[in-house]
């Protein structure tokens, strides 16, 4: 019997990806989003451009900035600056997700609260909708693995004092097992944040010290303080009340970087496509290249977590720029990564792990 519609709980990146897949396959997506609009979870809004691309088109009017490179630091020491490296976009998630859903001709219900264990959604105007077979993209509250916290300030730079321009700044902190960052936002604003294995209070203190140490940051106007939990424990595939988990609920976040928009979009698309085509969605999700990237990064994170601080520092400083990019983006092309790791004298343990896994 042909599938006429598919239920999607959550209009984050995974929900939007699922709606796009349904539309492409001639099925009506029916989306239930708990908030008044999508994409409200605070996070870096980066969307890298990679060879594999995305299964959906990114709406042009959702692109805030083009990213053309990155600067890397380790424990306050400048490592390198590289153009044409970690290229991509800073996006307005709300605009992007709404546009993808509308383009997919989705039937969208906002302020629609899912009731766990009931297979029902409470609708804003009263009444309920039953959801049984579909994609569950309810985010990190439904993730069963390891999570960390990230906090960030939205800061106003004005038109003449932008400290990053079209570059990303990433500051690895080996004592934290995490990193601070300065990312562009829309014109005149930046995101300055930190994430890692620490309490929210400790991260806030570290963020204050980081901002105070920078003459180009400490005088900027602070607009909004944000925080979020991030699922970095690897895949957590499964069902919620019979619906296939996708996105952050299923662990589709790259554990080393916290990147979630791209992995979640892909996972939602693949989950919906498999359901509509009568396939085995959990097997299909596990077999995707992005699932492999999540699992590989989790193995590397486990390896690095066992290292002493000095060993972590030596590893990060010895990696070539191309090795950093290959790992951060989850590419893991064997010929590239093994070549670059062989050039990194401090990466013998990582080279051994990569040789076994790739």
pLDDT tens profile 71-119: 999 999 999 998 877 789 999 999 999 999 999 999 999 999 999 889 9
Q: What is the pLDDT of residue 316?
A: 92
Q: With a cut of 50, which residues of the chain have pLDDT below it?
A: 1
Q: What is the pLDDT of residue 133?
A: 87
Considering only the top CATH level, what class is 5-41+92-138+235-287?
alpha beta
Q: What is the pLDDT of residue 179?
A: 97
Q: What is the pLDDT of residue 354?
A: 67
The hierarchical CATH code for the domain 46-91+147-231 is 3.30.9.10
In the chain, where are the structural domains located? 5-41+92-138+235-287, 46-91+147-231, 294-357
Q: What is the pLDDT of residue 357?
A: 64
Q: What is the pLDDT of residue 358?
A: 64
Q: What is the pLDDT of residue 87?
A: 85
User: Which pTM value belongs to this model?
Assistant: 0.95
Output Rg (C-alpha) for the chain, integer angstroms: 20
């Amino acid at each position: 019997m042909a599938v006429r519609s598919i239920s999607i709980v959550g209009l984050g990146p995974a929900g939007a990806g699922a709606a796009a897949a349904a539309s492409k396959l001639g099925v009506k997506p029916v989306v239930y989003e708990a908030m008044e609009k999508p994409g409200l979870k605070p996070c870096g809004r980066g969307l890298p451009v990679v060879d594999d691309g995305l299964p959906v088109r990114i709406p042009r009017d959702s692109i805030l900035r083009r990213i053309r490179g990155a600067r890397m630091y380790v424990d306050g020491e400048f490592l390198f600056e590289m153009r044409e490296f970690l290229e991509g976009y800073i996006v307005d998630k709300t605009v992007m997700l709404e546009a993808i859903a509308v383009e997919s001709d989705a039937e969208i219900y906002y302020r629609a609260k899912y009731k766990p264990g009931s297979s029902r959604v409470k609708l804003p105007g009263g009444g309920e909708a039953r959801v049984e077979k579909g994609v569950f993209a309810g985010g990190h509250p439904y993730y069963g693995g390891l999570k960390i916290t990230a906090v960030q300030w939205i800061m106003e730079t004005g038109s003449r004092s932008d400290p990053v321009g079209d570059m990303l700044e990433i500051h690895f902190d080996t004592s934290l097992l995490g990193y601070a960052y300065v990312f562009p936002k829309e014109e005149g604003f930046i995101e300055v944040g930190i994430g890692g294995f620490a309490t929210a209070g400790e991260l806030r203190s570290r963020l204050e010290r980081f901002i105070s140490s920078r003459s180009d940051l400490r005088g900027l106007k602070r607009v909004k303080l944000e925080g979020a939990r991030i699922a970095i424990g690897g895949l957590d595939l499964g069902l919620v009340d019979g619906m296939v988990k996708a996105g952050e609920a299923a662990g589709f976040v790259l554990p080393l970087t916290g990147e979630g928009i791209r992995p979640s979009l892909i996972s939602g698309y693949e989950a919906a496509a498999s359901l509509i085509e009568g396939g085995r969605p959990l097997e299909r999700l596990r077999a995707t290249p992005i699932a492999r990237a999540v699992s590989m990064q989790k193995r590397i994170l486990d390896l690095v977590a066992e290292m002493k601080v000095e060993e972590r520092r030596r590893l990060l400083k010895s990696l070539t720029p191309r090795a950093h990019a290959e790992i951060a983006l989850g590419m893991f092309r064997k010929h590239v990564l093994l070549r670059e790791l062989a050039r990194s004298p401090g990466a013998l343990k990582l080279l051994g792990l990569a040789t076994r896994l790739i």
